Structure 1
Amino acid sequence: MPLALLALAIGAFGIGTTEFVIMGLLPEVAADYGVSIPTAGHLVTGYALGVVLGAPLMTVLGTRVSRKRMLMLLMVLFIAGNVLSALAPAFGLMLLGRIVASLAHGAFFGIGSVVAAGLVAPEKKAGAIAMMFTGLTVANVVGVPLGTFIGQSTGWRATFLIVAALGVLGLLGIARLVPEQPRPEGVRLRHELAAFRNVQVLLAMAMTVLGFGGVFAAITYITPMMTGAAGFADASVTWLLVLFGLGMVGGNLVGGRFADRALMPMLYVSLGALALVLALFTFTAHHKAAAAVTLTLIGALGFATVPPLQKRVLDQASGAPTLASAVNIGAFNLGNALAAWLGGLVIAAGLGITAPNWVGALLAASALGLAVLSGALERRDRRGASRIVTGSTAEPALTNEAPPAPARS
């Protein structure tokens, strides 16, 4: 794999760390600013909304800039947001810093996916995308636990300064290792927007919202689920999340490898298995060992869908994939928000702390249904194209055929 993928992975590691580390530092941040935990939770919500809005916004603003330069500008924005978060004297400025950092998230992964795919042969594109996303998955295994430990030991501001330093490292790596990839000639914003008229692009994005949303329906409430249903101690949640992160790393790499061989079958298998495992989690969540194994599988199966879904969008929006790729990253966060809301509804309705797992299973099953529909439409279009080609080649053969000779008397 090209070294440029390492630079992209470092940037992804920093972004993944800053996105999730705040969840482990909410009590410290709330105490420092004198706000309640729910108010401090706006730092999570604000970041997610910033990703959803920033993905298309930053990509549109960068339509006339080379992809390498845009990636560098996004890392500068990410660094600035984390420095502001670390130094903010008031909660409002801290929230602003989080939003500024989040604006770089979707566009970085969207443009980075296009760049990563362009660095390798066509049959290795999904693997290259997976390599970049490895930075995000490793962040959940290393960056988030370590950042939480540092924040709790030396102060949460130190964590965000370290994340900003990671951003500087990613910026230098991109500047040094990523080759120039100018935008294709003639591609303008209207060409990027035209990709959204392709039903296959829209289906892939809907699969992203529902499929990865299924994961977050369960993970959002993992702490009360593991302590209340499985009987784990509060301190055990950290290593349980590490298991989930390890599953993410493995699933991401496997998904990238097999998506290059058979993309749609990979989606069928991963989404179907994810729906099944989420449904089983309703029962295994009451047993410690089974819960730990199931949680790891959810991470693996959930992230096994990421490279094929991202490659699906790139393939279907070929010619002008940058905006569609970035919007699909926003779709992951939209799915997270939707699933967390639905999971909260079923808990509030008195259906039990494990009820969000059924929500996740239904969301993943719905994504599988869309994948089957997408595959059927694609096969229908191929058959139609094949008939047209066959007909157009057969007709000239008839018209070029010499007329029969006249009968002799």
Structure 2
Amino acid sequence: MIGTVWPLVVAAVSLGIDAYVLAGVLPQIADSLTATVGAIGLGVTAFTGAYAVAGPLLSGRFVAGSTRRGLLVALGVFNAGNLITAVAPNLEVFLASRVLSGVGAGVLTALATSAAAALVATERRGRAMALVTFGLSAGTVAGVPTGMLIGHHVGWRWTMGLVVAVGLVSMLAVLLRSQAMPPLDAGGARVAVILTPQVAIGVALAFVFGLASLGLYTYLLPMAAERGVGSWGFTFVWAWGVGGVAGSMVAGPLIDGLGSRRLLPGVAVLLVASFAALALLDGPAAWLVAIALWGACGWGGVPVLQDVLTRSRQERTTSVVAFQMAAMYLGASAGSALGSALLGAGTSAGDLPLAATATGVLAVPLAFLVLGSRRTRAGGATPSEPESRAQAGTGRT
């Protein structure tokens, strides 16, 4: 199946690098632009905030008439923003460029995920969507540490040059794909979709995931330094990424085999447990295990929730994924801003895992509420996963 969706996976790799690479070079950027680490951290907020707004508002317009063209335009906007970041002369241009890049990324994630799901048969949707998440996590595990090394040796601007180079390769991959791209819903992210109880609660759950998980990751290095394991910072970044790759690889077969409804509560519980371990335990060994689990659940939970929300409404996959990912990155934006505010108010970076635990606890009841909100269509219940698979005789292979 990788042969079918590989251009979308490559595009996701570039997203994975860009979304998290700044976390590894925040101090260098701050020194270069004569700003504080907290101010540069707002670049993450700017990126994720734009990501959250652009997905629902623009994804349908980008694919009107051609899915391939929509993907290429989104990649073009994304790459342009990153190029401006690489040459930014001051904080203001830096933040504006992160907004532009976030717009392209928000649209691209929704289009790549829904296109991957549409390219395969229904019984393989879980694997297809998880492959896009795999691209995101692989970009993080390979690209972010590489970007850190580049930043430390030749400067953070060359780190962003790496992101631009991978983004250009992504555009080439989409252009070279010989098979036709399936048409996607060009109606945009429709309000009627998010007003259904299950999707509304799922979007709230995605926000909590982003608030706790992605928001905390922004401050992984200062958090480790404050707790006396700063020398392990590079290893922790790898552990989070490796956990994410493993989680996204395992999630697809588990979704299609066991069903996403069985997986969702467990993902939420384990994610909160990983935060609690970071808050309560000390030492590099305990932190390595907890951070790997955090990465696995944070990344693996993305396709699990996507499948729960879209399996019974496949014709609205673009809209649902746009709202879900918008909520997750809006949560990440809020989490990053909250972290910056807490640090600015004098909170120790070492106490941030405790804050993530307190907010992440909300994910557990929300996961069960998503599963309980099954009546999403007028006059009828949402089909169960086996029923929806049985009705899927028209899927592509």
State the TM-score, normalizing by the size of structure 2: 0.86
Residue equivalent to 2:393: none
| One-letter amino acid matched to 1:265 | R
| One-letter amino acid matched to 1:290 | A
| Equivalent residue for 1:244, pick from 215, 220, 240 | 240
Q: Deviations over 1:258-281 (max 9, x none)?
A: 122211111011112222332233
Q: Secondary structure at the match of 2:25?
A: helix
> Does the aligned pair in 1 maintain the 2:56–2:188 contact within 8 Å?
no
Displacement of 1:33: 3.1
> Does the aligned pair in 2 maintain the 1:66–1:180 contact within 8 Å?
no
Q: Number of residue pairs matched?
A: 381
Q: Deviations over 1:299-343 (max 9, x none)?
A: 112222111112223335432321221221121112223334555
Structure ID, larger Rg: 1
Displacement of 1:31: 3.0
> Structure 1 CA distance, aligned partners of 2:132 and 2:151?
26
Task: Give percent identity, aligned residues only.
Answer: 26
1:213 is the counterpart of 2:218: no
Q: Secondary structure at the match of 1:35?
A: coil
Residue equivalent to 2:293: 297
> Structure 1 CA distance, aligned partners of 2:96 and 2:337?
23
Residue equivalent to 2:387: none
Residue equivalent to 1:393: none
> Structure 1 CA distance, aligned partners of 2:237 and 2:67?
34
Change (3 A) 1:279 1:382: farther
Residue equivalent to 2:305: 309
> Does the aligned pair in 1 maintain the 2:194–2:323 contact within 8 Å?
no
1:264 is the counterpart of 2:264: no
Residue equivalent to 2:86: 86
* Structure 1 range deviating more: 249-258 or 18-27: 18-27
Displacement of 1:5: 2.2
| One-letter amino acid matched to 1:333 | Y
> Structure 1 CA distance, aligned partners of 2:14 and 2:274?
30
Displacement of 1:147: 1.2
Displacement of 1:103: 0.7
Residue equivalent to 2:364: 368
1:225 is the counterpart of 2:219: no
Q: Secondary structure at the match of 1:260?
A: helix
| One-letter amino acid matched to 1:297 | L
Residue equivalent to 2:279: 282
- Structure 1 unpaired stretches of 5+: 387-409
> Structure 2 CA distance, aligned partners of 1:33 and 1:190?
38
- Structure 2 unpaired stretches of 5+: 383-397
| One-letter amino acid matched to 1:281 | L
> Does the aligned pair in 1 maintain the 2:268–2:363 contact within 8 Å?
yes
The alignment's C-alpha RMSD in Å is 2.9
Residue equivalent to 1:176: 176
* Structure 1 range deviating more: 142-151 or 274-283: 274-283
Q: Deviations over 1:348-399 (max 9, x none)?
A: 888865543343334333222122122223289999769xxxxxxxxxxxxx
> Structure 2 CA distance, aligned partners of 1:72 and 1:190?
17
Q: Secondary structure at the match of 2:315?
A: coil
Change (3 A) 1:190 1:292: closer
> Does the aligned pair in 2 maintain the 1:255–1:306 contact within 8 Å?
no
| One-letter amino acid matched to 1:254 | V
> Structure 1 CA distance, aligned partners of 2:134 and 2:376?
35
Residue equivalent to 1:19: 19
* Structure 1 range deviating more: 239-248 or 304-313: 304-313
Residue equivalent to 2:390: none
> Does the aligned pair in 2 maintain the 1:195–1:321 contact within 8 Å?
no
Q: Deviations over 1:175-223 (max 9, x none)?
A: 2227433536xx5537833212211111111111113433245434433
Question: What is the 5 A alignment of 1:190-209?
Answer: 192-209=190-207
Q: Deviations over 1:27-71 (max 9, x none)?
A: 333333333433333322211211112212321432523222101
| One-letter amino acid matched to 1:328 | Q
State the TM-score, normalizing by the size of structure 1: 0.83
Residue equivalent to 2:128: 128
| One-letter amino acid matched to 1:51 | Y
Residue equivalent to 1:378: 374
Residue equivalent to 2:102: 102
Residue equivalent to 1:42: 42
Residue equivalent to 1:8: 8
> Structure 1 CA distance, aligned partners of 2:165 and 2:142?
16
